[in-house]
A = this chain, B = another copy of it.
């Protein structure tokens, strides 16, 4: 399939490249041209030509931390702190959730990702195999992340999944990960470090989300979670920490030294009253920050516009400085930096040879008018109503408010039935 997207403002996210008027050609799942129309190759016979009407084409948003299958629990158990919410409301219900449940609930989440311009996710949830199936069927790019902990499964299962799921499908990858320090014992941490070393794999883990979590780790080991993982060799090949709200300056030194990145989830951290992450400090240290929605039970929605606005607005509040966490940095977090945490070197910018994970931002909406500063408009004023197209791997999956290839009513009905059973 050859697609031409023309008459567009192109926000390529290539370093130092300003927004320009031009067009993009997609051939199969890759970009074959991105530039000014006068430089475009001619004589190509396209299957589809789309007049973008001056709207913006940019790389899709990367939602780098989510638990998609938690859609069943949206608005089920709000107004609780993290510990009560997990232990009393979530874990008991998750114990009753089947792989098929997870498959349908992930499909529901994918619909929402598409409305929000999300073209890749990092998903840590119960049954990676059925999550992969849902993603492949719906065309979503996904890195599955192991959430191994002392309650299950086993390191053997982790290793098997790592080998199997990384080879399953071009849209799917699998990352070595642990749920969190507080759900693992020392033996499991040490054995995981051996596996990490065997595969030279980066480590993905919930870390420094709440003050309690950090304090309890210090109580157990005498050091912070970041220092502990470093000491045990779990960060020897880099990695990603989810949240990073309560890191110390010493923690940040370690993250920097080890090339560990941070995925910030400002909406979840606010709603669960976990705190505001020190984004300004991360930026100062050159630590890569990406964004995630976290799961739809703690957020409660899967909206990258909310995360972009919040990471900036909360950063300004935290520092009491309106210059903190500016829009240009935020757009980078949601795109280029997201690709880094996913280890997807081909989805970061719009350029020839890159994968065609492209979104179109509708400027013909009152919240984008007048057109004065597009990145600021997107971060400070943007909303899901501005997502006119979501294309993943060269396929248009969402256009003008409609899903092009999904049985929406079936997905809603299944999710409703599962929610009734688990509530």
Nearest Cβ distance between residue A140 and chain B, in whole angstroms? 13
Q: Mark out the residues of chain A between 296 and 314 whose CB falls within 8 Å of any chain B CB in the assembled complex.
A: 296, 299-303, 306, 309-310, 312-314
Is the beta-carbon distance between A273 and B319 smaller than 8 angstroms?
Answer: yes
A275 within 8 A of B: yes
Complex Cα distance, B106 from A33, in Å, reads 41
Q: Identify A370's interface contact among B302, B320, B327, B416, CB under 8 A.
A: B416
Q: Which A352-388 residues sit within 8 Å CB-CB of chain B?
A: 364-367, 369-373, 376-377, 380-385
CB proximity of A383 to chain B, nearest CB, Å: 5
- Tell which of A67-75, A144-152, A179-187 binds the partner: A67-75
Question: Are the C-beta atoms of A75 and B381 separated by less than 8 Å?
Answer: yes
Question: Are B369 and A416 in touch, CB under 8 angstroms?
Answer: yes
Nearest CB in chain B: distance from A265 CB, A: 12
- Mark each residue of chain A from 88 to 113: 1 if its CB lies under 8 Å from any CB of chain B, else 0: 00000000000000000000110110
Is the Cβ of B273 less than 8 Å from the Cβ of A367?
Answer: no
Establish whether residues A370 and B313, one from each chain, have CB atoms under 8 Å apart when the complex forms: no
Copies per complex of this chain: 2
Contacting residue for A367 out of B303, B365, B373, B401, CB 8 A: B303
**Among the listed stretches A76-84, A153-161, A167-175, A218-226, which one makes contact with chain B, having 4 or more residues with CB under 8 Å of it?**
A76-84
Residues of B within 8 A of A115 (CB): 365-367, 385
In the complex, chain B residues whose CB is within 8 Å of the CB of A324: 273
Contact A72 B370 (CB under 8 A): yes
Kindly state whether residue A419 has any CB partner on chain B within 8 Å: yes
A256-297 residues at the B interface, CB under 8 angstroms: 267, 270-273, 275-276, 296
Name which of A108, A300, A369, A385 has the most chain B CB atoms within 10 A of its CB.
Answer: A369
Interface size class on chain A is 35 or more
CB-contact partner of A366 in B72, B109, B313, B322, under 8 A = B109
The answer to whether the Cβ of A231 comes within 8 Å of any Cβ in the partner chain is no
A326 within 8 Å of B (CB atoms): yes
- Known A74-B372, A79-B323; contact A313-B267, beta-carbon cutoff 8 A: yes
| Chain B residues within an 8 Å CB radius of A312 | 271
Chain B positions within 8 Å of A327 at CB level: 78-79
Q: Which listed residue (B76, B112, B316) contacts A372, Cβ 8 A? A: B76
Assembly CA distance A301 to B306 (angstroms): 12
A380-B78 in contact (CB<8A): yes
**Interface assignment of A50: CB less than 8 Å from any CB of chain B:** no
Residue of B nearest to A417 (CB): B370
Given contacts A367-B302, A370-B416, contact A383 B384 (CB under 8 A): yes
B270, A373: Cβ atoms closer than 8 Å: no
Interface contact A75-B270, CB-CB below 8 Å: no
Asked whether any CB of chain B lies closer than 8 Å to the CB of A47, the reply is no
A-B contact pairs, 15 of them (CB 8 A): A71-B370, A76-B372, A78-B373, A78-B376, A78-B380, A79-B322, A79-B327, A108-B369, A115-B366, A270-B313, A270-B314, A273-B316, A299-B381, A300-B380, A300-B381
Report A's interface with B, CB cutoff 8 A: 71-72, 74-76, 78-81, 85, 108-109, 111-112, 115, 267, 270-273, 275-276, 296, 299-303, 306, 309-310, 312-314, 316-317, 319-324, 326-327, 364-367, 369-373, 376-377, 380-385, 401, 408, 412, 415-416, 418-420, 423
Closest 7 A/B residue pairs (Cβ): A75-B376, A270-B313, A112-B366, A111-B366, A301-B381, A370-B419, A75-B373
